[in-house]
A = this chain, B = another copy of it.
Amino acid sequence: MQKFTYQNPTRIHFGEGQIAAIANDIPKDKKVLVIYGGGSIKKNGVYEQVSAALASHEWAEFAGVEPNPQYDTLMKAVEKIRNEKFDYLLAVGGGSVIDGTKFIAAAACYEGEDPWHILAKQHTVEAALPLGCVLTLPATGSESNKGAVVSRGKDKLAFMTDKVQPLFAVLDPTTTLSLSPRQVANGVVDAFVHVMEQYLTFPVNAKVQDRFAEGLLLNLIEEGPKALATPDDLDVRANIMWTATQALNGLIGVGVPHDWATHMIGHELTGNYGIDHARTLSIVLPAVMKERRADKEAKLLQYAERIFGIREGSVDERIDAAIERTIAFFKEMQVPTRLADVKLGESDIDVLMSSLESHGMTALGEHGNITLNDSRAILEAAL
């Protein structure tokens, strides 16, 4: 296990009716801006619960944060905050709304020339507005971590800082019952690949992290298909929600190598073609597993055995079987597993390569040894 420092101060309120808890978590003297997305929260009762919880607070709202939250949209919120002197942010939505709110929190306090530099030049975030969140779409883990991904045109960039870690997160699984099957599937697949990015690398004898990661993978494989088959099962939703949070709250990632090549390549698919984030991951991951099998051999065999019970056959046979089972799980979740599934082909690879190059993605993976040529090979394997 590698040396690490870890802290996760986000207070989690989990379970039905927990939105009411925000009343006590946000100081009464704060002026709160409630930030949300396309308005689904006005249809599923979440908006009413938030309003009720904020009955004793001064607050207003900012709607319209889109999936893959756009810089220009977020900067409108920043302007509103500066003009009207809000000093607490409440994100209500999924990972995009929370990521967007994190950027808004940092940009509102940014004193440099251009807040875009927080992302494009990785400028240090010296301060940010305090923020909390009400999660309605389990997937990204953003509700209790310090990272955020923001888009501007074809650029999809990330930043990380303790300053934007939510102070609290409400996880009420009943809020997820109104999600579409596509949103549910995307969330499960996103969480699954988050675990894989931190697990499927090379062994460093980190047994807690491995066992926890494997537990989360097993949960998603068991519960994901159930969420599609029996969409009213609240227990299933609760387990998926808590699993997705644990998948990217930092815990399984301490003291171990990380990959993230699938995400970096996937971001270009979203940036250039607008493909849902999770669906880029389900296309790219199987190709990464195939192409990087030498680097990942030991963990691929461990994954094969502990997740799918695959113990028979040669090394290659066991790895092939594990990749096939992964693809089968993605198909069960009704997400694409090849570029052809989203109508992309050979000719699109040059576009993606040019984006990867312009974003400096020349040394990806847990060893930093995935060159542009290797990324091309991965994309070709995903055709």
Contact with B along A1-14 (1 / 0, CB 8 A): 11111111111111
CB of A368 within 8 Å of the partner chain: no
- Which B residues touch A17, using CB under 8 A? 3
Please report the C-alpha to C-alpha distance between residue A9 and residue B13 in the assembled complex, in whole angstroms.
15
Q: Tell me the smallest distance from the CB of A233 to a CB of chain B, in Å.
A: 10
Q: Contact check, A207 vs B254: say whether CB atoms are below 8 A apart.
A: no
- A-side interface residues toward B, CB under 8 Å? 1-18, 21, 205-208, 210-212, 214-216, 218-219, 222-223, 235, 238-239, 242-243, 246, 254-255
Ranked nearest first, the 5 interchain pairs of A and B with the lowest CB-CB distance are: A211-B215, A3-B15, A7-B11, A9-B9, A207-B239
Could you pull out 6 A-B pairs where Cβ atoms are within 8 angstroms? A2-B15, A3-B16, A5-B11, A5-B14, A7-B12, A14-B255
Q: Which residue of B lies closest to A246 (CB)?
A: B208
Q: Tell me the smallest distance from the CB of A351 to a CB of chain B, in Å.
A: 40
Please report the C-alpha to C-alpha distance between residue A212 and residue B12 in the assembled complex, in whole angstroms.
18
Q: Contact check, A243 vs B208: say whether CB atoms are below 8 A apart.
A: yes
- Which B residues touch A212, using CB under 8 A? 211-212, 215
Q: Contact check, B239 vs A208: say whether CB atoms are below 8 A apart.
A: yes
Please report the C-alpha to C-alpha distance between residue A7 and residue B205 in the assembled complex, in whole angstroms.
28
Given A7-B12, A14-B255 in contact, is the A243-B2 Cβ separation under 8 Å?
A: no
Q: Contact check, B239 vs A205: say whether CB atoms are below 8 A apart.
A: yes
Number of copies of this chain that the complex holds: 2
Q: Contact check, B206 vs A211: say whether CB atoms are below 8 A apart.
A: no
- Which B residues touch A239, using CB under 8 A? 1, 205-208
Please report the C-alpha to C-alpha distance between residue A8 and residue B10 in the assembled complex, in whole angstroms.
8
Q: Which residue of B lies closest to A247 (CB)?
A: B208
Q: Contact check, A219 vs B208: say whether CB atoms are below 8 A apart.
A: yes
- Which B residues touch A4, using CB under 8 A? 12, 14-15
Q: Tell me the smallest distance from the CB of A170 to a CB of chain B, in Å.
A: 10
Q: Contact check, B216 vs A211: say whether CB atoms are below 8 A apart.
A: yes
- Which B residues touch A16, using CB under 8 A? 3
A9's partner among B3, B7, B218, B238 (CB-CB below 8 A) is B7
Q: Which residue of B lies closest to A251 (CB)?
A: B251
Q: Contact check, A208 vs B242: say whether CB atoms are below 8 A apart.
A: yes
Q: Contact check, B222 vs A218: say whether CB atoms are below 8 A apart.
A: no
- Which B residues touch A7, using CB under 8 A? 9-12
- Which B residues touch A21, using CB under 8 A? 5
Q: Which residue of B lies closest to A242 (CB)?
A: B208
Given A211-B216, A219-B208, A223-B207 in contact, is the A5-B12 Cβ separation under 8 Å?
A: yes
Given A208-B216, A235-B1 in contact, is the A11-B18 Cβ separation under 8 Å?
A: no
- Which B residues touch A205, using CB under 8 A? 235, 238-239
Please report the C-alpha to C-alpha distance between residue A18 and residue B10 in the assembled complex, in whole angstroms.
24
Please report the C-alpha to C-alpha distance between residue A1 and residue B284 in the assembled complex, in whole angstroms.
34
Please report the C-alpha to C-alpha distance between residue A215 and residue B16 in the assembled complex, in whole angstroms.
28
A1's partner among B8, B13, B208, B238 (CB-CB below 8 A) is B238
Please report the C-alpha to C-alpha distance between residue A218 and residue B8 in the assembled complex, in whole angstroms.
25
Given contacts A1-B14, A214-B215, 14 further A-B contacts (CB under 8 A): A1-B15, A1-B235, A3-B14, A3-B18, A4-B14, A4-B15, A5-B18, A207-B223, A208-B215, A208-B216, A208-B219, A208-B243, A211-B211, A211-B216
Q: Tell me the smallest distance from the CB of A23 to a CB of chain B, in Å.
A: 13
Please report the C-alpha to C-alpha distance between residue A16 and residue B4 in the assembled complex, in whole angstroms.
10
Please report the C-alpha to C-alpha distance between residue A18 and residue B5 in the assembled complex, in whole angstroms.
9
Q: Contact check, B208 vs A218: say whether CB atoms are below 8 A apart.
A: no
Q: Contact check, A5 vs B1: say whether CB atoms are below 8 A apart.
A: no
